[in-house]
Structure 1
Amino acid sequence: MTTAERREAILAQLGRKPIAARTLAAKYGVSRQVIVQDLAVLRAAHPNVISTARGYVRQQAESACTREFKVRHTPAQTGLELNLIVDCGGRVCSTSISHRVYGRITVELDIRSRQDVLEFLQAFEDSASTVLSTATDGYHYHLVEAATPERLDLIEKELQEHGFLAPLQPWEK
């Protein structure tokens, strides 16, 4: 199989369920690094191919609504916050922090269910890493997608009631 053929096959295989680079490497009989290079090329040509914490996905065009929420909580409350969002019908597209030295740092998440939340939290248990917001005293942002603006309003209300919603500073508005 040529490089071009492999890339076409990878692109065809990508869907809504994340696929790890090591899984693709095993399937195509190449190293993980070769797959990472292939996906870098594919991502340059196809903006809907994204990297998540659980692997690579190809986002489908959806007519959903999005809103960014500024939140603050302890690392121990991460599961509660994420479950609250997905239980209200939201999908956590990404998380980001605004760091005074590094600037805005954004990481794609694609968390849609309690199972996704569980797998995300387990990844931290299996490593020495911590959640991104530890670099900003718990402050961070979530880009959340939902089917309707009313769902986003419900998510905002629940975040507020649980004390997670953080006020925006004048320069953030």
Structure 2
Amino acid sequence: MTQAKEKRISAQVRRNSILKRLQKTSDPIKGNDLAEFMNVSRQVIVQDISLLKAEGQPIIATSQGYLLLNQAQTNGIRKIVACNHTVSETEDELTRIVSCGVTILNVTVEHPLYGEITRSLMIRNRSDVQNFVQNLESTGASLLSSLTDGVHLHELEAEKPEQMEEAVHSLKQAGYLL
């Protein structure tokens, strides 16, 4: 029991450590990985992240883990596209976008009761697409677009206009654009 107490660090030191880890990478870090590293439960990490957000830290929760947004990640060309497709076409839609070098920042649906619902995705490459699809299948969860018969918005980000044009053209070609 004494060893367990010695391994634990103060809450503020832990939050600072979480922030430093997020600052060192542009890849999302899973809550479970942070919890294991900090020798605390995942729920403690969730609370720490909430407190860091309340302090104004630009941390987002994605399906791949936590990510700290910085200026370098938010200076690209952005576009919102309206899409409609079936659940089985999700992987194809996402793959078409990232194959053009475009990042899928989020998904938004317009719910009749709650209004606009937006969730961060931060899907950057085919590996992220595979992880998203595997999580979808393994959890049995529903896509947000299931609330709106497949209709949803994606905010996209690209470094170059040509990448964005190529992604939009690919979505249009597949019949996913509204």
Instruction: Give the TM-score taking structure 2 as reference length.
Output: 0.89
State how 1:150-165 maps to structure 2 within 5 Å: 150-165=162-177
- Percent of aligned pairs with the same residue? 37
Bigger mean CA offset, 79-88 vs 13-22: 13-22
CA-based RMSD of the aligned residues comes to 1.1
Query: Equivalent residue for 1:169?
Result: none
CA distance in 2, matches of 1:48, 1:16: 13
CA distance in 1, matches of 2:57, 2:12: 18
CA distance in 1, matches of 2:109, 2:145: 7
Bigger mean CA offset, 15-24 vs 31-40: 15-24
Instruction: After superposition, give the CA deviation of every residue in 1:64-103 in whole Å (9 maximum; x if it has no partner).
Output: 1111100000000000000000011100000110111121
Alpha-carbon deviation of 1:150?
A: 2.7
Q: CA 1:153 to 1:47, structure 2 compared with 1: closer, same or farther past 3 Å?
A: farther
Query: Equivalent residue for 2:11?
Result: 3
Query: Equivalent residue for 1:100?
Result: 112
Bigger mean CA offset, 36-45 vs 105-114: 36-45
Instruction: After superposition, give the CA deviation of every residue in 1:27-72 in whole Å (9 maximum; x if it has no partner).
Output: 1111111111100011222442111111101123132111110000
State how 1:86-165 maps to structure 2 within 5 Å: 86-165=98-177
Bigger mean CA offset, 74-83 vs 21-30: 21-30
The answer (yes or no) to whether the contact 1:75–1:138 under 8 Å persists in 2 is yes
Alpha-carbon deviation of 1:160?
A: 1.0
CA distance in 1, matches of 2:56, 2:130: 29
SS in 1 for 2:139: coil
Which structure dedicates a bigger proportion of its chain to helix?
2
The answer (yes or no) to whether the contact 1:52–1:109 under 8 Å persists in 2 is yes
Which segments of 5 or more consecutive residues in structure 2 lack a partner in the other structure?
1-8
Query: Equivalent residue for 2:26?
Result: 16
Instruction: Give the TM-score taking structure 1 as reference length.
Output: 0.91
- The aligned length equals 166
Instruction: Identify which of 59, 64, 71 aligns with 2:83.
Output: 71
Which segments of 5 or more consecutive residues in structure 1 lack a partner in the other structure?
167-173
Query: Equivalent residue for 1:170?
Result: none
The answer (yes or no) to whether the contact 1:25–1:35 under 8 Å persists in 2 is yes
Query: Equivalent residue for 2:4?
Result: none
